[in-house]
């Protein structure tokens, strides 16, 4: 057929499935599935750690695809479905099993708000991927929202709190994360960081110090980091409103 003969080899290549970046996506999906299984077995600390492993794998697949120029439509859709499991269903189920089920219908309602917020966040990201600003995200990214919920549960377990004691706090945090994901707040995306660009030696040293800093008390430090990141969108929004109001000159009466 003429249409097939005139098709460029590049088009045929892009319709294939690239192996390298898509090796990380099933790893992230498995970590999310593992978190669900561990939550159902009552091993909530293992479930929380699995969320962070899924987050690392999810970050790697996108980076590898961009560095090796192996982005594909299949990879984007596969990654989105994996994110829904790892950062939508898994954190909602962990929060519900650990704490929210003690609230009855309010508990599963809060979990559903988070789960629905993740689905809407991912759908909006996929439909706006060609027009979105690469330096910022619209709404809290779903991996950060999942890390916020998981790290809170992890740090509370580490301090020997029970889910029943903190059920209303977990409810508020879960709803907060779900609503913030579908908000119009701007969050820094870190995509401007060029991994192929040479950097001073001190930058590598600071990265090493960061990992040492996190290793001192992983649950507490990770929670503070992601809680601060989740609030950064609100702070930036308030700051921009203040600058806009201060920049507007008041009318002068004649």
Residue 18: what pLDDT? Answer: 63
The angle, 0 to 180 degrees and rounded to 10, between the axes of the packed helices 21-40 and 44-67 is 170
* Tally of domains in the chain: 1
Residue 10 lies inside a defined structural domain of this protein: no
249 within domain boundaries: no
Do the domain assignments include residue 240? no
Give pLDDT, residue 10: 42
In a domain, residue 251? The reply is no
Lowest mean pLDDT among 12-21, 54-63, 96-105, 142-151: 12-21
Decide if pLDDT at 254 tops 50. no
Which SS3 state, helix, strand or coil, does residue 187 take? strand
What pLDDT, on a 0 to 100 scale, did the predictor assign at position 250?
Answer: 53
pLDDT above 90: residue 188: no
Between 6 and 63, the more confident residue is 63
166: domain CATH number is: 1.20.120.1760
Residue 108 lies in a domain: yes
The pLDDT of residue 101? 93
Cα(first)–Cα(last) distance of the chain, in Å? Answer: 77
Q: Is the pLDDT of residue 102 over 60?
A: yes
Instruction: Give the C-alpha separation, 166 to 98, whole Å.
Output: 10
Query: CA 121, CA 144: separation in Å to the nearest integer?
Result: 12
Q: How far apart are CA 109 and CA 92, in angstroms?
A: 10
Q: Answer whether residue 1 shows pLDDT above 70.
A: no
Closest CA to 173 of 214, 218, 230, 217: 230
How many angstroms separate the Cα of 13 from the Cα of each of 4, 18, 155?
Answer: 14, 9, 46
The answer to whether the CB of 18 falls within 8 A of the CB of 79 is: no
Going by the DSSP 8-state scheme, the letter that residue 130 receives in this structure is T
- Average confidence score pLDDT of the chain: 84
User: Is 1 part of a structural domain of the chain?
Assistant: no
pLDDT, tens digit, 9 for 90 and up, residues 118-131: 999 999 988 876 66
Phi, psi of 137 (to 5 degrees): -100, 150
The fraction of the chain above a pLDDT of 90, given in percent, is: 57
Could you tell me if residue 236 is inside a domain?
no
Which residue segment(s) compose the domain that 47 sits in?
17-231
Q: Which residues of 7-17 are buried (b: 16+ CB within 10 A; e: fewer)?
A: eeeeeeeeeee
194 within a domain of the structure (yes/no):
yes
134-168 pLDDT, tens per residue? 678 889 999 999 999 999 999 999 999 999 999 99
Confidence of residue 170 (pLDDT cuts 50, 70, 90): very high
Could you tell me which of 127, 16, 33 has the C-alpha nearest to residue 73?
16
170 and 100 in contact (C-beta within 8 Å)?
Answer: yes
Give the pTM.
0.83
């Amino acid at each position: 057929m003429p249409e097939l003969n005139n098709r460029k080899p590049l088009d045929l290549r892009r319709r294939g499935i690239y192996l390298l970046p898509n090796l990380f996506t099933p790893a992230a999906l498995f970590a999310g599935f593992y978190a669900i299984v561990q939550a159902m077995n009552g091993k909530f600390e293992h479930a929380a750690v699995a969320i962070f492993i899924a987050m690392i794998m999810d970050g790697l697949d996108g980076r590898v695809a961009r560095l090796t120029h192996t982005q594909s439509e299949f990879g984007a859709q596969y990654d989105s479905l994996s994110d829904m499991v790892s950062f939508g269903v898994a954190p909602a189920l962990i929060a519900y099993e650990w704490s929210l089920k003690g609230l009855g219908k309010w508990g599963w309602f809060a979990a559903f708000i988070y789960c629905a917020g993740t689905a809407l966040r991912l759908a909006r990201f996929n439909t706006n991927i060609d027009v979105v600003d690469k330096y910022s995200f619209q709404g809290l990214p779903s991996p950060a929202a999942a890390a916020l919920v998981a790290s809170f549960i992890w740090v509370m377990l580490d301090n020997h709190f029970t889910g029943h004691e903190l059920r209303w706090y977990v409810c508020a945090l879960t709803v907060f994360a779900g609503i913030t994901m579908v908000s119009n707040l701007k969050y820094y995306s870190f995509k401007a960081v060029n991994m192929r660009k040479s950097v001073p030696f001190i930058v590598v040293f600071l990265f090493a110090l960061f990992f040492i800093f996190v290793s001192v008390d992983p649950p507490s430090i990770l929670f503070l980091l992601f809680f601060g990141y989740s609030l950064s969108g609100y702070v930036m929004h308030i700051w921009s409103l203040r600058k806009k109001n201060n920049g507007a000159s008041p009318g002068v009466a004649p």
